[in-house]
Amino acid sequence: MREVWPGEPYPLGATWNGSGTNFALFSEVAQRVELCLFDDQGVETRVDLPETDGFVWHGFLPGVGPGQRYGYRVHGPYDPSEGNRCNPAKLLLDPYGKAVDGEVRWNEALFSYHLADPDPLDEKRLNTEDSAPYLPKNVVINPFFDWGDDRSPRTPYAETVIYEAHVKGLTKLHPEIPEAQRGTYAGLAHPAMIDHLKDLGVTAVELMPVHQYVPEHAMVARGLTNYWGYNTIGFLAPHNAYGSAGPQNGGPPSGGRWEHVLEFKAMVRALHQAGIEVILDVVYNHTAEGDHLGPTLSFRGIDSASYYRLRDGDKRYLLDYTGCGNSLNVRHPHALQLIMDSLRYWVLEMHVDGFRFDLASALARELHDVDRLAAFFDLVQQDPVVSQVKLIAEPWDVGEGGYQVGNFPPLWTEWNGKYRDTVRDFWRGAYATLPEFAFRLTGSSDLYEHNNRRPVASINFVTCHDGFPLQDLVSYDHKHNEANGEGNRDGTDDNRSWNHGTEGPTSDPAITALRDRQKRNFLATLFLSQGVPMLSAGDESGRTQHGNNNAYCQDNEISWVSWADPDEDLLAFVRALSALRRDHPVFRRRRFFQGGPFEADGLHDIAWLTPAGEEMTDDDWHAGYAKSLMVFLNGEAITEPDPRGRSVRDDSFLILVNAHSETMNFTLPGPEFGERWEFALDTTRQPAEWAKAGTEKAGDQIEVADRSLAVLRRLR
């Protein structure tokens, strides 16, 4: 018999103290909990946790330390009609496990029913086959890591440039990274990758899910996988397949048990040393266990009714606001505790700098409707750790009333889906988009100013992981998702894309030139807009998914960033754009434009002008065919001080926008706006040619090509 002491109920999970390990598991429904220890040969030893306090089962095992693999078996009622799914035949992962060794090997034993059973939820026909051989195991870790003098860069939002990336896909094909490190945390920390990010002016990487996740059974059966990772099973464990030491990357079969935890920390440290923050895309709205017919991997067998939202009246079934089969029960204190403990762990122990919350509206559903004052947001607001990092909401879910762009609390920023849609519509020539385009360009005050939020509440993006990459946005009218094996039925049909004359690749030089110009238009709009720009990995070099707008299951060249033949001209354009934004605070103001005159020069902080150089009238704004304008940004009228309280002064700029299908002549406004101007940006030319364009005077006419954008800087 293995010696076991009473231990402590907190912290939850497995905690090594140098002489042994404390194990603690919450389950309100359990009648008995067995801790299951596994040796290198997979032989299992079971130990009853001897104590229960506040529904937390706990025990301390002397001599058990880092590297020990474990799981749980929970004894209790199996009564699906009451929402209870305990089945001690099923090994269960620890919700607080900090490392996972191995991967799920799909087998009927992972389910609490027989797959061919016509009545799968009949408690009399329970599947009692042992699932342990097919389930990965948790691992006790040594939490020590030499962080040295690591500190978060804490880049102000107004100076932030976000780069959304997938850990594996970003570096899997990178030729300068050692093969063993490609597609791993170590690959992302490689100097070649960090140099690329710094060249782009990136200040934060937003990593697609790195919590331990599991691909769906049905997807694996089709020969595919969940590449994106929005299917979490371990909220405190970094995904083990992104470690470079494990067997999935050529390491020894017994290696890589928790070395990937250290590798993740080393990645964060290296990015911080380069001044780059790490933001995690987190999925607290559902888990990998799916709907009522999903596998029993963890939460379902521990305490299904506490962790999941169940239907009123028939608790066999789960409420689903996520489209993934289940919704985490954010009304239950222990489910909320898990989320908050997880967030604090990633900040305090893993040193990350913020979070992007997938389908964040689901976290606000205490009853049915989305509630801004839900308990989750109250907890975040008062938390001294979590409230101090970057908090980004994906402000929608798939439930009724789930689209909540502009409605999150003041502490939060949001993926601005309206920005994406408006900018796409405007540049493809949609009718009557000019007024909304103006709102998006200036920080979306119509969405955020009403509750005292600032322009940085808007995370601006044109593309992201979900949908077409930039190259495909200008190359396809329709999705081409046949490789996903769902008959091209998956993925949205609302792409707001335009192929510019032919579907897919072309050798037509006129179409290619227009597509290239449109890519530059999108990127220029993104970096010149007030708010926080987010660039999708690979867009800077012309990455394509060949028309697939839902590559969630494509762990291959469809999704991976290709470094073999990058678009060097586009890369140079993005670098120049980023530098223009970095060097000029007028493009990244911390407060909204007021539209009023400024004392020093009598000019407004912003002015909207027609191509004739005259101030816009109501008729100009509401002319549905209008697709061009000039925007004057007054660098002398920045009202917010710098961090030391000093006044901020900048150059003044004119943005000339022509989304028409024909070249237009723009007349520069009168000398009160500026006597002389020079080109600072032109989407029809490469950066090296901008300064060669010469200078212009007040009243001069400038020819602006069809579907192009130019920026002029006022000369002092």
C-alpha angle 213/215/221, rounded to 5°? Answer: 165
Which contiguous run of DSSP H or E holds residue 375?
A: helix 375-382
Amino acid of residue 193 = M
- Beta-ladder partners of 101: 137
What does the buried/exposed string (b/e) look like for 516-539 if buried means 16 or more CB atoms within 10 Å of the residue's CB?
bbbbbbbbbbbbbbbbbbbbbbbb
Rg of the chain over CA atoms, in angstroms?
A: 27
Q: Which two tokens stand for residue 228?
A: 């994106």
User: Strands across the sheet with 69-75, in order?
Assistant: 44-48, 32-38, 69-75, 137-139, 100-101
- Residues 6 or more apart from 342 whose CB is under 8 A from it? 235, 236, 282, 284
Q: Which of 216, 289, 358, 696 is catalytic?
A: 358
For this structure, is 320 an active site residue? Answer: no
The DSSP result for 377-439, as a single string, is: HHHHHH-TTGGGSEEEE----SSTT---TT-S-TT-EEE-HHHHHHHHHHHTT-TT-HHHHHH
Amino acid of residue 23 = F
For this structure, is 394 an active site residue? Answer: yes
Inter-CA distances, 490 with 75, 319, 328, 387, 553, Å: 40, 22, 24, 37, 11
Q: Among positive and negative, which fits the CA dihedral 42, 254, 102, 335? A: positive
Separation of alpha carbons 699 and 580, rounded Å: 25
Inter-CA distances, 417 with 43, 158, 217, 330, Å: 51, 19, 31, 25
Q: Please state whether the peptide bond connecting residue 6 to the residue before it is cis, i.e. omega within 30 degrees of 0.
A: no
Per the listing, tokens 């690329």 go with: 196
Which contiguous run of DSSP H or E holds residue 29?
A: none
Q: Which 3 state secondary structure label does DSSP give 270?
A: helix
Q: Crossing angle of helices 434-441/417-427, nearest 10°?
A: 130
Residue 580: Cβ within 10 Å count: 21
- Residues 6 or more apart from 570 whose CB is under 8 A from it? 516, 519, 520, 540, 541, 542
> What is the 8-class DSSP label of residue 465?
S
Q: Which of 394, 472, 516, 651 is catalytic?
A: 394
Inter-CA distances, 415 with 379, 412, 418, 464, Å: 21, 10, 9, 10
Q: Which two tokens stand for residue 325?
A: 């089969």
Active site residues: 358, 394
